[in-house]
Structure 1
Amino acid sequence: MIRDIMKDETFLAQKAEPATPDDFPAAQDLLDTLAAHKDGCVGMAANMIGVNKRIIVFDNEGKYMVMFNPEIVKRSQPYEAEEGCLSLTGTRKTRRWQSIKVQYQNEQFQTRFKTFTGWTAQIIQHEIDHCEGVLI
């Protein structure tokens, strides 16, 4: 189901709760909502649709990927970026990392590790910031 985009900064500033298998419907709603906004959005976190759980979805080189409980466990090569967000007006400057290693759970709730670089890494960092209650 396509959900409305959350704009309430007090809600968005909350740290997300861990996701569980009961949160699969929220993940599907997140995918549906991202697909509906594909022209102006490449990633979303669950709090952007009003669900305070650690779930992110993003465009991984042309294919949508879901991560439950993502955590960055390694990072390298910092750089300055400017980003926008569907939940907020305008753009903001932020520091990102060219390469990140992420620990997450897949749709079967199996723990996985994967390294991402470049644009995809930047998207993931933005969405994990959402899970931490960081507004960019």
Structure 2
Amino acid sequence: MKQRVLDVKDRRLREKSQPVIKVDKKIKSIIKDIKDTLATQNDPEGVGLAAPQIGKNLCIFLINYEKISRIIINPKVLYKSKSKSHSTKASRGGKEILEGCLSLPHYYGPLQRAKAIKIEYLTEAGEKKVEEFKGFLAQIIQHEIDHLDGILFIDRILEQKKPLYKFEGGEWEKVDLV
């Protein structure tokens, strides 16, 4: 069932998530809620959603980008590339790709994240899997793992001293953070 996405001001988003012990009926119900909630996001659309964003303090998230859709449970980072994404203008028409968050809708910033990441995780069937993600998918994975650790993308914006932009009414506006 569709759930409300928690706002960035909600303190629950700052809590470290608990690992899933067993993929049972309760967990499958939460997974369905995550899927239903992300599927109905359209202003803005999302490419990922973590359980903490719907008020569930568990290590579960969904990525859904182009033809890739995965439920990731209890992710463990095995490898992150040293090379970073978005340190220069991206290939899409020379523009940087801006990262955003459904818990802070319509705000975006050009974060640098590892270009590739390899993780071990459980599937929604409870099977252990190791998978490497590159490019924008690697960025999504890192963003969602941050949610599980109580870290928001706005924290990364401040940490990297990057600009933050608001997109409203078809217009971009730079936002002062200090």
Q: TM-score, normalised by structure 2?
A: 0.70
Q: Which runs of 5+ in 2 are unaligned?
A: 87-96, 154-178
Q: 1:35-75: CA deviations, max 9, x gaps? A: 11156100000011110100010114424210111122101
Separation in 2 of the partners of 1:73 and 1:87?
27
1:70-109 matched pairs, under 5 angstroms:
70-76=75-81, 77-80=83-86, 82-89=98-105, 90-109=107-126
Separation in 2 of the partners of 1:17 and 1:110?
18
Separation in 2 of the partners of 1:135 and 1:60?
20
Kindly indicate whether structure 1 or structure 2 has the higher relative contact order, using CA contacts under 8 Å at least 6 residues apart. Answer: 1
Separation in 2 of the partners of 1:71 and 1:31?
21
Q: Which runs of 5+ in 1 are unaligned?
A: none
1:17 offset after TM fit, Å?
Answer: 0.5
1:56-71 matched pairs, under 5 angstroms:
56-71=61-76
Q: What residue is the counterpart of 1:2 in the other structure?
A: 2
1:1-136 matched pairs, under 5 angstroms:
1-7=1-7, 8-19=9-20, 20-22=22-24, 23-37=27-41, 40-76=45-81, 77-80=83-86, 82-89=98-105, 90-136=107-153
- RMSD of Structure 2 on Structure 1 (CA): 1.7
Separation in 1 of the partners of 2:39 and 2:98?
23
Q: TM-score, normalised by structure 1?
A: 0.90
Which has the larger Rg? 2
Q: 1:59-106: CA deviations, max 9, x gaps? A: 144242101111221010223474211102522453311111011001
Structure with greater strand share of residues:
1
Separation in 1 of the partners of 2:13 and 2:130?
26
Amino acid at match of 1:21: V
Aligned-pair identity (%): 35
